[in-house]
Amino acid sequence: MSSGCPENIVLIGFMGSGKSTVGRLLARRSGRYFLDADTLIESQQGRPIPEIFASEGEAFFRQLERESAEWMARCVRGTVVSTGGGMPLVVERLREIGRVVYLKLPFESIVSRVTSKERRQRPLFGDLDTARELYDARRSVYEAQAQIVVEAEGPPERIVSEILKRLPS
């Protein structure tokens, strides 16, 4: 990269796969900044995502994701970006933002990580059957977008070490 900044790393995966936790640690260990795409949208809109979904609907939120991705591709450098779980569905060119890393985790592990209270706060998690359908539908999109796939079981430190080993020098 001509700016002298390290390449961005874009973390994708289903909700609860550890994108934010791994992203923060990866940013520290790699000397990059950290940016949570959902937090960026919440900050721009001045309200939480569940409220955006409730008042404006999913299509509006997905448009916000597309706009934020365009901005990140133009303006963000030297950063680990944690995407929302659905962003890869509406942003086909995540690679324009940076190196795309899929944190792959079995559905059963996600369910054990995400408490029932957290599931109720996530607009599309709903009941477990609905979440399973979403998970199954999104897996192929994540795999198609990914340049690196990392098994996301175990401690975040192990996952970060695996990502760092697999990044180009």
pLDDT tens sequence across 13-66: 998 899 999 999 999 999 999 999 999 999 999 999 989 988 999 899 999 999
When the pLDDT of each residue in the chain is averaged and rounded to a whole number, the result is 90
Give the whole-number percent of the chain exceeding pLDDT 90: 75
For residue 2, being part of any structural domain is answered with: no
For residue 53, being part of any structural domain is answered with: yes
Whether the per-residue pLDDT at 120 is higher than 70: the answer is: no
For residue 1, being part of any structural domain is answered with: no
For residue 4, being part of any structural domain is answered with: no
Average pLDDT value for residue range 139-151: 97
CB atoms within 10 A of CB 137: 10
For residue 3, being part of any structural domain is answered with: no
> Where residue 96 falls among pLDDT bands split at 50, 70, 90?
very high
What pLDDT was estimated at residue 168?
87
For residue 129, being part of any structural domain is answered with: yes
For residue 29, give the CATH number of its domain.
Answer: 3.40.50.300
For residue 76, being part of any structural domain is answered with: yes
What is the extent of the structural domain holding 113? 9-166
For residue 54, being part of any structural domain is answered with: yes
What pLDDT was estimated at residue 35?
98
What pLDDT was estimated at residue 93?
87
Cα 169 to Cα 5, 80, 134, 166: the distances in Å are: 13, 16, 35, 9
What pLDDT was estimated at residue 126?
63
**Domains held by the chain: number:** 1
